[in-house]
Amino acid sequence: MLMIADLHGALALCLHDEGRGVGGLLHLRFMGGTGRPSDVTDNTLSSVLVVLDRFKRAVLGNSTRGDEIQARILAHALPPTDAGEPSASLVDLIQADLADGKIACGTQLTRRTESVRVCFQPFEGRVWISGPNDLRATPRASRSAV
């Protein structure tokens, strides 16, 4: 199985439980109207934490072995400008939540005008980034997203 998320002002959280051989991909928008990462407000905080909690439960179940769980956040934003950016973004919020659960998390932020495509094999935990046209010929039936 291959999960694909096209990112443009969004992030993909890939979770993989090595012990059980399961995983999932959560695709969230994190860019504000300016095209830059948006501030984490109370509304954003509460709604994202609810979605994140449901996602972790769906993928990990009651697994308590943090050493077998791998997480990776891949995010896309426009190139920086002179305008100030928030001190904490949605990426920081998710990293902190995963750290509270003793889940190590790698992060990669890509800043460019073109979108990026994240590909994730949930059973193996393999993650890679491809260009937006690299998988155009992939049959639609084999692509899925969570």
Which has the higher per-residue pLDDT, 32 or 104?
104
Strand partners, 13: 26, 73
How many H-runs (helices) and E-runs (strands) does the chain carry? 2, 8
Q: What pLDDT does residue 26 have?
A: 96
Measure the CA–CA gap between 117 and 128, rounded to whole angstroms: 8
- Mean pLDDT computed over every residue of the chain: 80
Within 10 angstroms of residue 96's Cβ, the number of other Cβ atoms is 11
CA distance 135 to 138: 5
**pLDDT digits 0-9 by tens, 113-139:** 888 999 999 999 999 998 656 655 444
CB atoms within 10 A of CB 11: 26
CA 144 to chain centre: 15
The CATH number linked to 137 is 3.30.1330
pLDDT at 137: 43
| Nearest in space to 19 (alpha carbons), one of 74, 78, 59 | 59
Q: How confident is the model at residue 38 (pLDDT cuts 50, 70, 90)?
A: low
Its domain, for residue 91, covers 2-144
**Residue predicted with more confidence, 87 or 92:** 92
Q: Domain count of the chain? A: 1
Q: pLDDT tens, 55-80?
A: 999 998 876 676 789 999 999 887 77
